[in-house]
Each structure stands twice: as structure tokens, then as C-alpha cells.
Amino acid sequence: MVRSFDGTAVDLDWLERLCATALWSPSAGNSAGVRMHTIGHELVPDYFEVATDEGWRTSARRARGLQRAGAVVLVTTRPQDYIARYTESDKAASGLDVEQAWPLPYWHTDAAMATMALLLLIEEDGLQATLWGNFRYGDEVLKWARVSDESLFGAVLVGRGDGNDAPSTSLQRRVPTRAQRVRRVAPSSS
């Protein structure tokens, strides 16, 4: 993921085609409860005004680079679409007709899959992006974007990287290798 952009505007027609393609990703019960809302270059400063606070904008080491994104995609979910789908006759036996019954809210899973697909499509088409998590100000962002009846999953910042990324301090953490995190399940010996 790129966290420092050069300010080049992103073509929204192109981006909206990629969003539509990314939404081919899996959807539990074909609930189709994930949405993507594009924000053009001219509105990126307004987005950051709502999505952040003055302290972050003036002191975070990545703030300036991120604020030069060429577009933003808000990824939202509609949990009510999943609940409604799982009350239909072919899914009713699942017992997932209320939000609290879902051991894992698949609207988050579906949003993550669509977001990953979008990130890969952007990269494949020659631009860069980063996932901007929904840690705070989500309700304000949705109100600003005039989105209702949806929950903000996160935002994808899109643009052309400028090569000035500040490396994440998380990269210094010692973690198991990728190979160490893969385990083959063997048949039990009874």
C-alpha cells in the first residue's frame, strides 16, 4: 500500500468501472450488501477535513502524502440486506435472521473481499492505493457524503505514488514467517 501520493487526479469513470468489477467478489447468500462511493480529486481535501482532526492533519508524519490522494472510495455495508436475505425461505433454517445471530458478520467479510479486489485492480491498472481504516469519524464521513442506511467499512485512497512513503514502524516487529503461518492438517491416527 502506498501512503504518499503525488496529487494527480484520478479519472472517476475508470475508478467506478474498477469498483463495479471489484463487487464481483463473494457475497454471502448473494446479499449484495456492499456499496462503493467515489470521491473525486476536488473533494479529497473536504473528505480529510471530515475524516480527520486538525491535530492529525498538522502532525502525523503521513498526513501530507495521504492528503494528496487523487480520489477516495468509501466502502460501506448494509447489514440489513444480509438479515433480509437470510429470512428468505432458502436461508431461513440458518437462524441468521437477526444481526446478533451471526457468529461472524459476513457483511464485513464481503466488504474486505471487495476492498482487496479493488486494491488489486488499481495496482494492476498502474496506480496505487491504500486502505484507510474506519477508526473514527465514520458517522461524520457518511453524513458528509450523504450516505444513509449504510455502515462505513473503510476508505480506499487512490492515486499515483510519489516515492516518499514513510515506512511503517510495524515492519520492524518480529513475526512468524508466512511459511510458519501455514499448517497442513493431517489425518488423525485413532
pLDDT digits (tens, 9 = 90+) for 85-99: 999 899 988 988 888
Query: How many helices and strands, by DSSP H and E, does the chain display?
Result: 7, 4
Residue 190 domain-assigned (yes or no)? no
Residue 38 contacts residue 72 (beta carbons within 8 Å): yes
pLDDT over threshold 90, residue 57: yes
Residue 7 domain-assigned (yes or no)? no
Q: What is the tens place of the pLDDT at every residue in 16-33?
A: 999 999 999 999 889 899
Residue 186 domain-assigned (yes or no)? no
Residue 119 domain-assigned (yes or no)? yes
- What is the pLDDT confidence band of residue 102, given thresholds at 50, 70 and 90? confident
N-terminal to C-terminal alpha carbon distance within the chain: 47
Mean pLDDT of 119-128: 97
CATH label of the domain that carries residue 36: 3.40.109.10
Residue 158 domain-assigned (yes or no)? yes
Residue 37 contacts residue 73 (beta carbons within 8 Å): yes
Q: Pick the residue with more confidence: 95 or 72?
A: 72
- What is the pLDDT confidence band of residue 4, given thresholds at 50, 70 and 90? very high
Quote the domain boundaries for residue 79.
12-181
Residue 46 domain-assigned (yes or no)? yes
CA–CA gap between residue 22 and residue 13 (Å, rounded): 14
Closest CA to 144 of 34, 12, 55, 39: 39
Domain tally for the chain?
A: 1
Residue 27 domain-assigned (yes or no)? yes
Residue that is written with C-alpha cell 474498477 in the block: 18
